[in-house]
Amino acid sequence: MLPKYVLKIISSFREFPHIIRNIAAPIFLITLVILNLMSSTFIKMDRGQKLRSNIIKKPFNSKAHEQLAQYYLELNTTEAGKEYRLAEEYYSPSPQNKNNTLGDVSSPWTTWQNILTSQEKLSAEIEYWDSLKETLPDYNYAFLKLATLYFQSGQLDLSRKYLNHLLENDPTNSLAIGLKGEL
């Protein structure tokens, strides 16, 4: 059941049906235009959706592809590689950037290669310290180093595992306590 004031408004429009037809179309169109212009404030988008919509707006912008690639680094390295490749295709170093930046500005593909190299070095270092831990099980620094390396690689559960093992053997280790506080 509708409230009385709503029924009163509806009944007044029944008496004058031409008012509804004359006013409704312009109000409807204005409402659609306003909703379209302000859709970003009404529709909540996460960071990934915003970055993808930036690419839809500017598909040949190298910076937009590079930002999306940085977002994909945590989620999907294959997609990150594709976005870095697209960013490299549309990349053109401008002389204006050289005047405003301190140092060299690398291309997106160089950035991607540097990321891959650092990930390979990190995994090689993890393998080294893991083999050292197996040969010297009482070497506490190996557990601390593995916890730190797994923390850097984003594998927080393995980092916690090695930190807990280290703190069981050496509960006063200040470095392990500090890293445990960051987890």
> Distance (Å, rounded) from C-alpha 33 to C-alpha 175?
58
pLDDT tens track for 75-130: 888 888 898 898 888 887 766 555 565 556 678 888 888 888 998 999 999 999 99
pLDDT of amino acid 16: 61
Mean pLDDT on 68-76: 87
Residue 173: what are its φ and ψ, rounded to 5°? Answer: -70, 110
pLDDT of amino acid 124: 93
pLDDT of amino acid 121: 93
How does the average pLDDT of the chain come out, rounded? 81
pLDDT of amino acid 120: 92
Inform me whether the pLDDT recorded for 29 exceeds 60: yes
- Tell me if 162 sits within 8 A of 146, measured CB to CB: yes
Residue with tokens 């506490």: 140
How far is CA 183 from each of CA 74, 124, 159, 180, rounded to the nearest angstrom?
Answer: 17, 23, 9, 5
Ordered alpha helix ranges (H), the chain: 4-15, 17-37, 39-42, 47-57, 62-75, 77-90, 95-100, 108-135, 140-153, 156-169, 174-182
Percent of the chain clearing pLDDT 90 (strictly above) = 7
pLDDT of amino acid 17: 58
More confident residue, 42 or 137: 137
Inform me whether the pLDDT recorded for 54 exceeds 70: yes
First to last CA, the chain: 56
